A and B are shown apart, each in its own frame.
Chain A
Amino acid sequence: MTSLPTHTEKKLGLAIDLDTCVGCQACVTACKGWNDQGYGAPLSDQDPYGAAPSGAFLNRVHSYEITPDQGAAVIVNFPRSCLHCEDAPCVPVCPTGASYKRVEDGIVLVNEDACIGCGLCAWACPYGAREMDGDVGVMKKCTLCVDRIYNEHLPEEDRVPACVRTCPTGARHFGDFADPDSTVSQLAKQRGGYDLMPDLGTRPTNKYLPPRRKDAPDMSAPLAPLLDIQATGFAGWLDKVLGKI
């Protein structure tokens, strides 16, 4: 149903660590691979070997450059996927009820059997989280791997989204933001996790952990020479240094 639930029991989502993401794109293709055979229609590719190959992906990794007023420029890799907003603007616009937010865990999903492929939900999303499948004409989006996280056919430790399981640097964390003691809540608290475009009032569940301070080496305590080699000569240095053994 397109009305948003007033409250969800859990707030499942991701904490994405921008200080750790190296931009390797592993989460992008792990997501593509899982969702090529998982929930809903496979993610199709159009013109895969041609001039403009274009397929549906549910997760994209950008690379940005920040140039501070002083000091060296910084590259920050920035994964972008559905934030499973509490006030998800993609849900109420849906004319068919295909787009909905789950009461039990807050996951925003598309019921593909009901989707007419009008694309309005993708227009309503500020984050570019939805991509229309070019083959079957239904809207695809991150499901938070709803077919993994409750899947009793998977070992307990694998009941996490495919992107989290594959992330080689461990930059993606999955959990319940409604539980203040969960890893993701704690990480968001300790590292200053923030929302994307908070002024749009979407109240995203996913949090981004900002890059840590860069290029601030301690230059205040350089090594002190043992002695003035110019004055004492090499022999003096040798005596001094070996006297310490």
Chain B
Amino acid sequence: MHPAPSVIVFTVLSGMGFGLLAFLGAGLPAPSGWAAFFHWGLGYSLAVGGLLASTFHLGNPQRFLRAFTQWRSSWLSREAIASVACLLALAPVALSNWLGFGWPRALGLIGAVLALATIFCTAMIYAQLKTIPRWNHWTTPALFVAFAGAGGAILAGQSGAGAVMSALLLALLLAAFRIGDGAFAARAQTLGTATGLGTIGPVQGTVRVFEQPHTSPNYLMREMIYLVARKHVQKLRSVTLIGAGIAPALLLPLTPPSLLGFAVIALVHLTGAFAARWLFFAQAEHVVGLYYGQR
């Protein structure tokens, strides 16, 4: 799949943002005054900024309100609703923290659950697609939640939780890479099965593309066929594992809690997260590529 910058930025930032909001909603930490303003402000900025980034890949973003209507069937619609519900639910909590109203925290817990739900819905947009075997697996929502958890914990200054979530993320990444690399093959789909040629009827044999249906690229090829070099993958996987998992897991317990320390670790984590998300798209192979003899 084409690693569109808007979608990568959206999923990484909003994931981290909703992760932070979940922690804040749960009261971990429960800052007050200007500290609360900056904590909540960061959470909202990342979440809303990410959502805004996602609209850049829409053909007609002005119709976005319609995206709230199809919650019965569409994970994308559910994500929209969950995200707005989360942002609304947490708003009083944030205000209370900032301005010291001392309102009860129950709404915060609801908001935290909604933040996790948002992240889960985002992940399910990808995980539901049978057409993309690498994504169509439980590891996809697990990874998204773990990224939000690790990223959110770092931003929330939760060293312990951050280290544990990072270690969990590392394990999930390793699992997802391993399972994902075999996912397409596991479906046993080939050009021969996709076309039925070579397996159905009296003419059978090895099928290959003779001529493409169009010699210049189209939407499908640009959107769903992306070739990434193996060498490149190895490098980015190292960045991912070290940046998103190993480094935070090791550094968080060792680094004294300071703004600078968390900021550095957050940036390291973010680098890994961007590499991971780029690979998530770039390495995802859509079955339509079979028809073009390319994946």
Contacts and interface: CB of A to CB of B under 8 A. Distances in A.
Interface of A: 1-3, 18, 28, 52-57, 60-69, 73-76, 78, 80, 89, 91-98, 114-120, 122-128, 131-134, 136-139, 192, 194-197, 199-201, 208, 210-214
B194 interface: yes
Given A54-B218, A97-B70, 15 more contacts: A52-B217, A53-B216, A54-B217, A62-B212, A63-B209, A92-B73, A95-B74, A118-B58, A125-B288, A126-B131, A132-B219, A137-B59, A200-B287, A210-B203, A213-B203
Interface stretch (B60-68, B148-156, B173-181): B60-68
Closest 4 CB pairs of A and B: A117-B59, A137-B59, A210-B201, A68-B205
Contact of A89 (B131, B187, B200): B131
Contacts of A116: 58-61, 63-64, 66-67
A125 B194 CA distance: 13
25 contacts: A2-B73, A3-B72, A3-B73, A53-B216, A63-B210, A65-B209, A65-B210, A67-B205, A75-B210, A76-B195, A93-B74, A93-B75, A93-B76, A94-B70, A115-B63, A118-B59, A122-B219, A122-B220, A123-B132, A137-B59, A192-B200, A199-B187, A199-B189, A210-B196, A213-B202
A66 B204 contact: yes
A63 B292 CA distance: 10
Contacts of A133: 59
Contacts of B130: 89, 126, 200-201
A196 B196 contact: yes
Contact of B194 (A2, A66, A197): A197
B69 interface: yes
A69 B205 contact: yes
B104 interface: no
B52 interface: no
B202 A123 contact: no
Contacts of A62: 195, 209, 211-213, 291-292
A15 to B, nearest CB: 14
Contact of B206 (A52, A67, A96): A67
A6 to B, nearest CB: 13
Interface string B16-57: 000000000000000000000000000000000000000001
> In terms of DSSP, what is the predominant structure of the interface of chain B?
loop
B169 interface: no
Interface of B: 1, 57-61, 63-64, 66-67, 69-70, 72-77, 80, 125, 128-132, 187, 189, 191, 193-198, 200-214, 216-220, 222-224, 286-288, 291-292
Contact of B70 (A2, A57, A75): A2
Contacts of A213: 202-203
B219 A95 contact: no
A64 B204 CA distance: 12
A122 B73 contact: no
Nearest to B55: A116
A80 B291 contact: yes
B205 A128 contact: no
A132 B2 CA distance: 14
A134 B210 contact: no
Contacts of B195: 62, 64, 76, 78, 196
B83 to A, nearest CB: 12
Contact of B80 (A75, A95, A122): A95
Contact of A118 (B76, B210, B214): B76
Contacts of B191: 64
Nearest to B69: A97
B154 to A, nearest CB: 30
Given A65-B210, A194-B196, A2 B74 contact: yes
Nearest to A139: B59
A122 B61 contact: no
A80 B191 CA distance: 13
Contacts of A122: 219-220, 223-224
Nearest to B1: A123
B187 to A, nearest CB: 8
B67 A68 contact: no
A201 B80 CA distance: 28
A56 B220 CA distance: 10
B206 A115 contact: no
B66 A138 contact: no
A69 B198 CA distance: 11
Contacts of B198: 66
B3 to A, nearest CB: 14
A80 B129 CA distance: 20
B162 to A, nearest CB: 32
Nearest to B125: A120
A76 B288 contact: no
Nearest to B131: A126
